[in-house]
Chains A and B, each alone.
Chain A
């Protein structure tokens, strides 16, 4: 029974490039959440998606960031034209009914 999978685990991008982070939820889970975490800081909510729908994107910057959770395939968090301030750990979590969330191992993005 596989847990939440995220890839890549580490991603290095130069300023101005695009970053694509992937998240495969636990089988049977239809709710996906993306969080950002800076070192020594807490979890910052970004976006909450259900299959093919964005439920709440109040934590996601309006520009350069987008997220999707298609009917088939993983959820994708896309960051266009990355800047140094985007460097962080990005965690994905999934749940069945919208309560208990299971976290993936995270993607550590470094922008050089």
Chain B
């Protein structure tokens, strides 16, 4: 079945710098790739997603890139701010009637 690997498990960056989190997936039939942010003690919330017919998607300081050939996708956060500190989860799915397969999470720490 599908397997999603996420790296790094912890990422510490200086405020204002960029952060990149990478995920790889195993099932080439996967076509939906969301990223969720979970702040301490709160629920996971979708921050951006991409479908396999698109290579890149951007929303203000957040962007996601997808390389279908290599079966990996990445989250890019530019001009990081203290409120970006959280755990970020990637996931992959083959679509309706299939569950999301989750990465293990990346703890992002923004140093002031």
Interfacial residues, chain A to chain B (CB-CB below 8 A): 31, 33, 41-43, 45, 48, 55-56, 91, 97-106
Known A42-B105, A99-B93, A100-B49; contact A33-B44, beta-carbon cutoff 8 A? no
How many chain B residues touch A (Cβ–Cβ < 8 Å)? 22
Please report the number of residue pairs spanning A and B whose Cβ atoms sit closer than 8 angstroms.
Answer: 50
Interface stretch (choices B64-72, B78-86, B95-103): B95-103
Interfacial residues, chain B to chain A (CB-CB below 8 A): 32, 34, 36, 42-46, 49, 89, 93, 95-105
CB distance from A107 to the nearest CB of B (A): 11
CB distance from A97 to the nearest CB of B (A): 5
State whether A42 touches B43 (Cβ < 8 A): no
Q: Which residue of A lies closest to B100 (CB)?
A: A101
State whether B89 touches A43 (Cβ < 8 A): yes
